[in-house]
C-alpha cells in the first residue's frame, strides 16, 4: 500500500505540473482545463482552484451512477489542482516560440507518463474518469462518452474565455497513445 500511495501522489503531482507547463506555454491546455481557465476568468480564482472545485462537483453525478471511488479519487481532485497553481506560480510564461513548444511538449509528456503511474496505482479513478466510466456502464461506448464530455467542456470553456490553441489539439491527438503505452508498463498488479 505505501508504494501504491507514493505512486499515486507523485503521479498526480507531476500530472498537475504538466498542466501547469501547458498553461504557461500559452499554446493551449487540455479540454477540462480550458473550462477551468474560463471559469477563473469569469468568476475569479485560479485555474487550480477551479480544477479542484469542478473535480468535487463532478462527484455529485457519481451518486446516482453508483460509481465507486477511492482515496485516489479524492486526492486526484486536490493534488492536481494544487500543482497546476504551484507550477503556474513558479514557472514564468514562455517568452519565445521555442520555449512555448518545449513547455507544451514537456507538459503533455508529463501528463501521459504520470497518467500511467497514478492510474496504475489502482487506488480509484479521477473524478472525470469515473464520470465517464459510470455513464458508459449505462450503455454508450467509452469513446462516445469521453468525446461528448471533452467536447462539451471544451466548448463551454471557450465560451467562458479559456485558452484553446494548437496545444489543445496536440494534447487531444497524443494523450491516448501516450497513456496506451505507459499504463500497462506502470500498472501495479
The per-residue pLDDT for 168 is 94
| 80 vs 19: CA distance, rounded Å | 8
The per-residue pLDDT for 175 is 84
Query: Can you read off the three cell numbers belonging to residue 87?
Result: 507550477
Q: In this predicted model, what pLDDT tens digit does every residue of 28-82 receive, in sequence order? A: 999 999 999 999 999 999 999 999 999 999 999 999 988 888 999 999 999 999 9
The per-residue pLDDT for 61 is 92
Below-70 pLDDT ranges, the chain: none
| 55 vs 59: CA distance, rounded Å | 7
* CA nearest neighbour of 40 among 79, 85, 73, 74: 85
The per-residue pLDDT for 188 is 79
The per-residue pLDDT for 47 is 96
Amino acid at each position: 500500500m505505501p508504494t501504491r500511495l507514493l505512486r499515486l501522489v507523485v503521479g498526480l503531482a507531476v500530472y498537475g505540473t504538466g498542466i501547469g507547463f501547458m498553461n504557461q506555454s500559452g499554446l493551449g491546455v487540455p479540454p477540462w482545463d480550458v473550462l477551468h481557465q474560463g471559469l477563473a476568468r469569469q468568476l475569479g480564482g485560479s485555474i487550480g482552484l477551479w480544477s479542484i472545485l469542478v473535480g468535487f462537483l463532478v462527484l455529485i453525478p457519481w451518486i446516482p451512477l453508483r460509481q465507486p471511488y477511492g482515496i485516489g479519487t479524492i486526492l486526484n481532485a486536490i493534488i492536481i489542482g494544487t500543482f497546476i497553481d504551484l507550477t503556474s506560480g513558479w514557472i514564468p510564461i514562455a517568452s519565445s516560440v521555442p520555449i512555448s513548444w518545449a513547455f507544451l511538449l514537456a507538459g503533455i509528456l508529463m501528463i501521459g507518463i504520470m497518467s500511467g503511474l497514478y492510474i496504475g496505482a489502482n487506488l480509484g479513478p479521477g473524478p472525470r474518469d469515473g464520470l465517464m466510466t459510470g455513464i458508459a456502464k449505462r450503455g454508450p461506448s467509452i469513446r462516445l462518452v469521453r468525446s461528448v464530455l471533452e467536447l462539451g467542456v471544451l466548448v463551454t470553456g471557450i465560451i467562458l474565455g479559456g485558452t484553446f490553441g494548437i496545444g489543445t489539439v496536440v494534447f487531444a491527438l497524443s494523450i491516448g497513445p501516450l497513456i496506451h503505452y505507459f499504463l500497462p508498463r506502470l500498472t501495479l498488479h
